C-alpha cells in the first residue's frame, strides 16, 4: 500500500512539473528570424535602415541625457568603480555630453551581411545628410569587453554597457529584441557621428556586430545586428523644476527638507551648469527672507558607479552649490553645510532612466 501511494505521489509530482514546464515554454518563445518590424517601431529619419533588415527592439525617450564616446573606453581612474552589475567601469577619455530626444533601435540584418559592410552603409547615410564621423573603432580597439553586449556582471564593462544594461531593456526574455541586445557578440564595429540640424547638432551612434548564441537565440546565431542611437536636440519641458522660495520655506517648515531638481551638473562632474541659476536664486531669496535660517545642502546620486565614487561626487556637487551661493549670491557660508549622501537615500528605483533621474537631486535640509 505504501509503495502504491509513493508511486501515486511521484506521478502527481511529475504531472505538476510537466504543467510548469509547458507554461514556462509557452510564456517564453525562442527567437525567430524576423519577417516584420516590432509593433509601434519606426526608423529614424537621420539613420535609415539597411535594406532587408527588421526592427526587433525600439525605445524612444522624449528627453534624457546621453554621452557619446569620442575615444576608446579605458578603465576608470577609480579602480574600485563598478557598475550596477559589478563590472569594472570603463569610460572614454573624450566624450560629448548631450541632452535631448533619444531613439534607440536594434535591427537584425539579412543573412551574409558583415558588421563592417553594414557600418559603412550607415556612414554613407550620415555623410549624405551632411554629417561627419567623429570617432570610429573596431573589435578590441573600442575598449572594454569586446565579446559582451548588455548582459553579464563581475567582469569588464562592454561598449554597449556604457550606454545601457540588460536590466534597462523592456524586451521580453528570449524575444528577438532581447536576443539581439543580450547575446554574446563578435566582430564589433562602432562610430559616433554628428549631423547638423536647424535646431542644433544631432548625434548618431551605430554599433554593429555578429550575434553569437546556440541556445534560445540560435535562430539568429551568426546574424549581424545594428544598434542605432539618435540624440536629437530638443528643449526640455520645464515642469515643476524651479521651486519658488515660498514653496521651499513651506516644505522646510512642514517636513524639514525639500528635493530640488533645478540644479544641473554635467555627467560625472561637479561643475554647475548656467541653467541652475533660477533655482539658486530662489534658495538665496529663501535665506534672505529669514536671516536666521541655516540649511544643509545634500547631494544625491543614482547607483551608477561605486559607492565611494558616488559619495565623493555628491559631496563635491553639494560643495559647489554652497560655494556659488556664497560667492555669487552673498549668502554667509556659515549658514550652509554641504554634505554628500551618494546613492544611500534613493526615492525611486535605480532600474529605470526615470527612476535614476529622480534620485539625482540636491536636497535642502533645515538645520535650525
Residues in the chain, total: 368
> 512539473: which residue's cell?
17
pLDDT digits (tens, 9 = 90+) for 125-161: 999 999 999 999 999 999 999 999 999 999 999 999 9
Structure-model confidence comparison of residues 113 and 351, the more confident one: 113
What local confidence, expressed as pLDDT, does residue 50 receive?
A: 96
Q: Are 213 and 220 in contact (CB under 8 A)?
A: yes
The dihedral formed by the CA atoms of 297, 301, 307 and 312, expressed in degrees to the nearest 10 = -40
Q: Is residue 341 over pLDDT 50?
A: yes
Give the residues across from 260 on adjacent strands: 362
- pLDDT level of residue 49 (50, 70, 90 thresholds): very high
pLDDT digits (tens, 9 = 90+) for 299-314: 999 998 899 999 999 9
Q: What three-state secondary structure class fits 106?
A: strand
The grid cell for 289 is: 527672507
Of the candidates 22, 19, 56, the one whose C-alpha atom is nearest the C-alpha of residue 217 is 56
Percent of the chain at pLDDT exceeding 90: 77
What is d(CA 72, CA 194) in angstroms, rounded to the nearest whole number? 17
Q: Is residue 23 over pLDDT 60?
A: no
Range 55-76 average pLDDT: 94
CA distance to 52, 80, 82, 89, per residue, from 156 (Å): 34, 12, 9, 7
Sign of CA dihedral 267, 153, 93, 164: negative
Range 96-120 average pLDDT: 96
> 564616446: which residue's cell?
69
**Model pTM?**
0.62
Q: Is residue 18 over pLDDT 80?
A: no
Phi, psi torsion values for 55, nearest 5 degrees: -80, 125
What local confidence, expressed as pLDDT, does residue 235 receive?
A: 59
What local confidence, expressed as pLDDT, does residue 30 receive?
A: 86
Amino acid at each position: 500500500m505504501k509503495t502504491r501511494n509513493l508511486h501515486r505521489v511521484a506521478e502527481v509530482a511529475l504531472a505538476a512539473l510537466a504543467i510548469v514546464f509547458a507554461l514556462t515554454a509557452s510564456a517564453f518563445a525562442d527567437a525567430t528570424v524576423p519577417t516584420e518590424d516590432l509593433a509601434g517601431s519606426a526608423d529614424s529619419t537621420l539613420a535609415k535602415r539597411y535594406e532587408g533588415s527588421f526592427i526587433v527592439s525600439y525605445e524612444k525617450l522624449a528627453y534624457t541625457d546621453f554621452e557619446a564616446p569620442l575615444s576608446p573606453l579605458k578603465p576608470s581612474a577609480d579602480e574600485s568603480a563598478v557598475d550596477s552589475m559589478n563590472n569594472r567601469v570603463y569610460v572614454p577619455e573624450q566624450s560629448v555630453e548631450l541632452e535631448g530626444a533619444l531613439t534607440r533601435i536594434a535591427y537584425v540584418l539579412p543573412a551574409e551581411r558583415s558588421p563592417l559592410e553594414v557600418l559603412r552603409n550607415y556612414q554613407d547615410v550620415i555623410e549624405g545628410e551632411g554629417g561627419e564621423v567623429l570617432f570610429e573603432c573596431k573589435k578590441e580597439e573600442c575598449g572594454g569587453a569586446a565579446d559582451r553586449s548588455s548582459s553579464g556582471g563581475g567582469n569588464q564593462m562592454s561598449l554597449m554597457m556604457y550606454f545601457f544594461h540588460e536590466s534597462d531593456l523592456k524586451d521580453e526574455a528570449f524575444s528577438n529584441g532581447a536576443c539581439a541586445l543580450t547575446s554574446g557578440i563578435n566582430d564589433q564595429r562602432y562610430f559616433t557621428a554628428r549631423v547638423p540640424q536647424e535646431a542644433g547638432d544631432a548625434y548618431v551612434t551605430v554599433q554593429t556586430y555578429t550575434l553569437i548564441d546556440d541556445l534560445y537565440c540560435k535562430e539568429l546565431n551568426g546574424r549581424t545586428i545594428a544598434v542605432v542611437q539618435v540624440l536629437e536636440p530638443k528643449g526640455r519641458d520645464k515642469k515643476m523644476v524651479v521651486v519658488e522660495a515660498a514653496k521651499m520655506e513651506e516644505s522646510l517648515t512642514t517636513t524639514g527638507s525639500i528635493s530640488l531638481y533645478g540644479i544641473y551638473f554635467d555627467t560625472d562632474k561637479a561643475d554647475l551648469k548656467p541653467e541652475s541659476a533660477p533655482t539658486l536664486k530662489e534658495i538665496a531669496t529663501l535665506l534672505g527672507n529669514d536671516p536666521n535660517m541655516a540649511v544643509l545642502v545634500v547631494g544625491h546620486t543614482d547607483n551608477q558607479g561605486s559607492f565611494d565614487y558616488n559619495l565623493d561626487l555628491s559631496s563635491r556637487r553639494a560643495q559647489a552649490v554652497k560655494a556659488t551661493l556664497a560667492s555669487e549670491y552673498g549668502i554667509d557660508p556659515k549658514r550652509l553645510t554641504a554634505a554628500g549622501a551618494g546613492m544611500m537615500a534613493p526615492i525611486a528605483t535605480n532600474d529605470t532612466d526615470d527612476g535614476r533621474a529622480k534620485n539625482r537631486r540636491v536636497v535642502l535640509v533645515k538645520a535650525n
